[in-house]
Amino acid sequence: MSPEPTPPRAPEVPDGWDQLPSLADEPAATAAPGPAAGDPGGSVIPVIASSWGDLAVILGLSAATLVALKLAGHGAPFAAAPWAAAVAVLWWLVAAAALLTVRRGTPGMVAAGISFAGAVRPARLPWVLLVALLLAATLGLPSAVGPSGWALRVAAGTPLTVSGHGLP
């Protein structure tokens, strides 16, 4: 009796055979060694962009207040510009406090794609808001001195993370 030949086996199907390779995966494999992914330590651009974003929010709120005064029939809304700026900063503080609690970042930080790695403790919230407001007022230039985002890191007591873009 001769042994029966074993039937040919079907080739093993690899996992993910039906998926195309993602373009986002290719640069990650060839990326040069540098700061850890998600750490803005190598680039100051997202931190400065977040400061500019916060300034844009404040200026936009100021302009909206002046337009609302003009539409309400007040004759000289530009005389109320300091009042409009104060109202805009107050609204920004409220919005930033809410976003820091929910999204772990100010409006500018959320727009720039950075956030804090951990939740900001309520006792540190006023300090983070003060630092973010000062960075917005100075166009984020203090962020260019020293490690990226050092002022925000110290104020919050937690590191920053970058998401949403492939900056180095």
How far is C-alpha 23 from the chain's CA centre?
A: 23
* Average pLDDT, integer, range 78-90: 87
- Cα gap 39→42, rounded to integer Å: 7
- Beta-carbon count within 10 A of 38 CB: 13
Q: What is the pLDDT of residues 144-163, one digit of tens each?
A: 777 777 888 888 888 888 87
Total-model pTM: 0.65
Q: What is the pLDDT of residues 15-26, one digit of tens each?
A: 776 666 665 444
Which of 110, 163, 154 lies closest to 130, judged by CA?
A: 154
- Cα gap 145→151, rounded to integer Å: 10
- The partner residues of 161 in beta bridges, in order of sequence, read 115
Return phi, psi of residue 166, to 5°.
-110, 40
Say whether pLDDT at 32 is over 70. Answer: no
